[in-house]
Chain A
Amino acid sequence: GNSVTQMEGPVTLSEEAFLTINCTYTATGYPSLFWYVQYPGEGLQLLLKATKADDKGSNKGFEATYRKETTSFHLEKGSVQVSDSAVYFCALSEGGSEKLVFGKGTKLTVNP
């Protein structure tokens, strides 16, 4: 079955540091890939998405590139802020299906 594997957390960084959160996937077809963010006490918010190989999703300074050859969708940000502290989830949905398959999440804490 389809699955998503994220790097284990938690991740603690200082403000303005570079962020990478690794995500790899297993899928039988050609999935769409997503990053969701969950702030404390809130539901999930879509951060960015990519629908086909080599697509780059970007939003709020975050970027992720759909790499079919390595089945990866790593999240990056050049300079994190304290307000980026949250749990980040990588997810996929397979073509024609709205069912999302999530990774376990990576908790990010950014210290001033």
Chain B
Amino acid sequence: ETGVTQSPTHLIKTRGQQVTLRCSSQSGHNTVSWYQQALGQGPQFIFQYYREEENGRGNFPPRFSGLQFPNYSSELNVNALELDDSALYLCASSRVGGAIYEQYFGPGTRLTVT
């Protein structure tokens, strides 16, 4: 069983640029959630995708957007990067259908905005 993978591992961007982060969900999972983890903080929910549609969103501006593909992989796009966007971005996959949802996290992408 393949776990959740994310790419790239590290990324350095300049303020105002755009970035795309990628996530491949665990085999058999159909839901992907994205979280932002600032240094020394707990992860913050950005949004979730199920059946290729956004299914819940946290308190993040519209310049954070995403996609889910038919194979359940996902992208997180961030436009007009700001310094405060520097963080570890975590992707988590899960399978809708059970009573309790367990999310499995990838290793994350470390984004630095200069």
Binding site for B on A (CB under 8 A): 4, 32, 36, 41-46, 49, 51, 89, 91, 93, 97-105
Contacts and interface: CB of A to CB of B under 8 A. Distances in A.
Nearest to A44: B105
Contacts of B33: 98-100
Interface stretch (B13-21, B62-70, B79-87, B94-102): B94-102
B2 interface: no
Interface residues on B, range: 20 to 34
Contacts of A98: 31, 33, 48, 56, 94, 96, 101, 103
19 contacts: A32-B100, A36-B105, A43-B90, A45-B105, A49-B102, A89-B43, A98-B31, A98-B96, A98-B101, A98-B103, A99-B33, A100-B33, A100-B45, A100-B103, A101-B45, A102-B44, A104-B42, A105-B40, A105-B41
A88 B4 CA distance: 20
